[in-house]
Structure 1
Amino acid sequence: MTYPTFYDVEQTFETSRIDNIAKAVDTAFASFDSSTVKPEATVGITVGSRGIDRIVPLLHAVVRNLKSIGLRPFIIPSMGSHGGSTAEGQTAILAKLGITEESAGCPIVSSVETVSLGLLDEGAEVFVAKDALEADYVFVMNRVKPHTLFHGEVESGLCKMLAIGLGKPRGADNLHNFPLEKVIKPAALRILEHINLLAGLAVVENAVEKLHTLKLCTSNEVVSTDSSLLSISAAILPRIPVETLDLLIIDEMGKNISGTGMDTNVIGAWRRMAGERKPEYKTLVVLNLTPQSQGNAHGIGMADLIPKRLADSIDPAATYANSLTTGVWASGRMPITLATDKAVIDAALAKAPTTLRAVRITNTLSLQHFWATEAVFSDLKTAGATVHPDKTNTLTFDSTGTLMPFETC
């Protein structure tokens, strides 16, 4: 097999960031009206399973500010059915993120017990964590970004944290039986009618996963905050600036990268659900599952070819639980699995044209630098990406057939 030459490609992204998180949180709270806050009242802080940039100092600053206005904060793990749908599993996920009672500065109260808030007009039953109902206040916190399954006025953000995260396994399972673009917002509004929301903290990350925007909002501003920050997030979301490829090689997928392991906004939502094949990446190869995924390979069904080493790292129970919750069965199906990375790459190249349009990326988040074959140079230059023709790599494998990392350019 003759392997193609790949060239280093660089994209210029929005990389402005918040450097001093504690100061940014303090500034946000400076305009918060605490005059009506009941002293010594409890406040449950929602914390999800996603790895928000510098989540530990961010959360610690929130806890410190809540204490400064006389409240008694505690953390409510708010991650739907993640963590095996158990209280212990969800606490363990927080620990993996570095979030403990010691690091946060407050207790963690983990339970999957919920209360039904009735049916929406769409027929979906809304559930909310009992701990949130019993708290004097709730403080909702989440990252805002485009969703991998649907597009709408609100997507992944504060409303989703309320509806899915605080819904615990029962709420997440139920809402995923309906079109999320139709039920997320009304479910969140229903929950807001029953909890006492102190405030919401929405954050946006830049194209290199660093905190870019932070906004504190009131209960009445939750939807508008989600919507306005979604526009910012969508505008700076990293993408591959090529519409058609014969081959896309992804070194790793994982839950810490995207809820679907690989961001469908990058690889094409049609690979998960029916729809327009845009972008059209004909063959998708994935080589590894991140350790942070803890075996959950939800989204693996979007790949065409994988090596046995990836297949061996998958925990079927965790993967199927996630896929059953979303109701997208294809996300949990196994692609064609071959013995080694080399066997996978060879099979992909055997069906590709001589003039190969190919790209290799580390993952769907790390797109500031990637590698591409000469056939896509024109597309890259049109999109404003910089190609370094003097920085080249080729596909090489170790003695076990594992694809070697490209030399850093």
Structure 2
Amino acid sequence: MKLHHVQQQLANHPIADIPAAVHAALDKLAHPVPAGEIAITAGSRGISNIAAITRAAGDWLKSRGAKPFIVPAMGSHNGATAHGQRAMIESLGITEEAMDMPIRASMDVVEIGETFTGPITMDKFCHESDGVLVLNRIKPHTCFVGPIQSGLMKMMTIGMGKINGARTFHQVPCLKKADAIIALGEAIIGTGKIFAGLGIIEDGYDQTAELHALAPEQFASEEPKLLDHYTNDYFPKLPAEEFDVLIVDQIGKTFSGLGMDPNVIGRRGLAGVPDFPSPRIGSIAALELTTASQGNALGFGLGDCITQRLYDAIDFEKTRINAETTGDMDRIRMNHIVKDDVDAFNWCGDRSGTDRWLVVPNTLHLDSMYASEGLVDELKSNPQCTVADEPVEVEFVDGRMKLAF
């Protein structure tokens, strides 16, 4: 198959000096830093510059007389064990040595309230601290829509709540999750344990673009504005609305909580909940699971076929725990398994045709991709796209696709 290389121009606004930007954002907080120990949350996402941001936040707290420490806050991820969650943040560069701060990992929680779906919980180290700096990226969530989705409120309710908090939230019906995350978040803020939040916004190239420090009483009012800002001004999308086939070279937690972002591929994978109206894709093939996902392949069921090497990389226990916690088992339904990338291409072509193909590295980095001849005219008319005039032949080495993204 011959494909044309496509460059998609995305919003490009990287922060040049991350530590300075973190300090400048936190300097705007009007309330004083509590004396004593301050917990900083660390999630499992592959957030750009996450180690530098976390270190800078800790340094800023130290300059104000506090004693910061880091808490892995990722709900049920990485096997829902303290060791697994610590290993996850260390794989992101958040180690005690690099951060010059201790890491305190535990799955123990303190109940701080109750909802109709279960107890509201908080990581015990966060609860025992003198305050919590909630740190997370703000972006659309993978299973519900609403004014608040993935960000500071989610980090508090699901991340800091450990597997218990994740279960409480995910037992809420999808259509009520947007209201639930606000109610649960406000209950956690009501404990007085939250010192502040640092919301991260990334540009279209997965670069840190903006940092916003918020007082806890601002979370509910300001986070929706930041989400709208990101969605309208930064969020990367596929360059067309209809495809016969989408080939995704890599999936994994570092790109999206579901490996492939539903907001990009248009598939929610939720029983009884309609998919997004666009894009419309006939077949999706996923070729590889990133090693940084440490076997958690939640979301592989959103595709139609996976390769044997992706299947072999799955830690089904980790993936099952994550899926059962969310309650969305369709997202790990077993799809068609093919021998290798060559078979994935052939299977998708036989199933959905060969006219409108797009090959992407993952669903987070969408500036460089490859398109079939049937998409070329449409993409050339897209002012954000530059399409190579001459196509390249897709090469396979030992059954693996070789394309330079």
Contact map agreement 1:241 1:379 (CA 8 A) in 2: no
Who is 1:83 aligned against?
Answer: 78
Who is 2:197 aligned against?
Answer: 200
**TM-score (normalised: structure 2):** 0.94
- Which of residues 153, 156, 160 in structure 1 aligns to 2:147? 153
1:262 equivalent to 2:260? Answer yes
Distance 2:58 2:266 in 1: 39
Distance 1:162 1:255 in 2: 19
Per the alignment, do residues 150 and 238 of structure 1 end up closer, same or farther by CA in structure 2, a change over 3 Å counting?
A: same
Q: Name the amino acid aligned to 2:258.
A: T
- Which of residues 89, 94, 100 in structure 1 aligns to 2:89? 94
Distance 1:25 1:256 in 2: 22
**TM-score (normalised: structure 1):** 0.93
- Which of residues 207, 227, 231 in structure 2 aligns to 1:230? 227
SS of 2:395's equivalent in the other structure is: coil
Contact map agreement 2:240 2:279 (CA 8 A) in 1: yes
Who is 1:345 aligned against?
Answer: 345
Who is 1:9 aligned against?
Answer: 6
Contact map agreement 2:70 2:102 (CA 8 A) in 1: yes
Who is 2:281 aligned against?
Answer: 281
Alpha-carbon deviations, 1:103-162, whole Å to 9, x = none? 112111111111222323x54431111222211111111110111111101000000001
Distance 2:269 2:244 in 1: 15
Q: Name the amino acid aligned to 2:98.
A: S
Contact map agreement 2:251 2:286 (CA 8 A) in 1: yes
Who is 1:53 aligned against?
Answer: 48
| CA shift for structure 1 position 391 | 3.8
Flag as ranges the 4+ runs of structure 1 deviating above 6 A: none
Contact map agreement 1:272 1:302 (CA 8 A) in 2: no
**Structure 1 alignment gaps of length 5 or more:** none
**Structure 2 alignment gaps of length 5 or more:** none
Contact map agreement 1:80 1:164 (CA 8 A) in 2: yes
Alpha-carbon deviations, 1:339-397, whole Å to 9, x = none? 2221221122123346x111111111111111111212343244323343434222332
> May I ask how many residue pairs the two structures share in their alignment?
399
| CA shift for structure 1 position 224 | 2.2
- Which of residues 66, 69, 94 in structure 2 aligns to 1:71? 66
Who is 1:104 aligned against?
Answer: 99
| CA shift for structure 1 position 72 | 1.1
Contact map agreement 1:148 1:269 (CA 8 A) in 2: no
Distance 2:404 2:390 in 1: 9
SS of 2:186's equivalent in the other structure is: helix
Per the alignment, do residues 278 and 42 of structure 1 end up closer, same or farther by CA in structure 2, a change over 3 Å counting?
A: same
1:10-409 correspondence to structure 2 within 5 Å: 10-33=7-30, 35=32, 37-39=33-35, 41-120=36-115, 122-178=116-172, 179=174, 180-235=177-232, 236-273=234-271, 274-276=273-275, 277-353=277-353, 356-398=355-397, 400-403=398-401, 405-407=402-404
Distance 1:199 1:270 in 2: 32
Contact map agreement 1:340 1:401 (CA 8 A) in 2: yes
Q: Name the amino acid aligned to 2:155.
A: M
Identity of aligned residues (%): 35
Distance 2:154 2:198 in 1: 13
Per the alignment, do residues 366 and 38 of structure 1 end up closer, same or farther by CA in structure 2, a change over 3 Å counting?
A: closer
Distance 1:248 1:126 in 2: 40
| CA shift for structure 1 position 200 | 1.0
Alpha-carbon deviations, 1:316-349, whole Å to 9, x = none? 1111111111111011122111222212211221
Distance 1:228 1:136 in 2: 29
Distance 2:246 2:82 in 1: 38
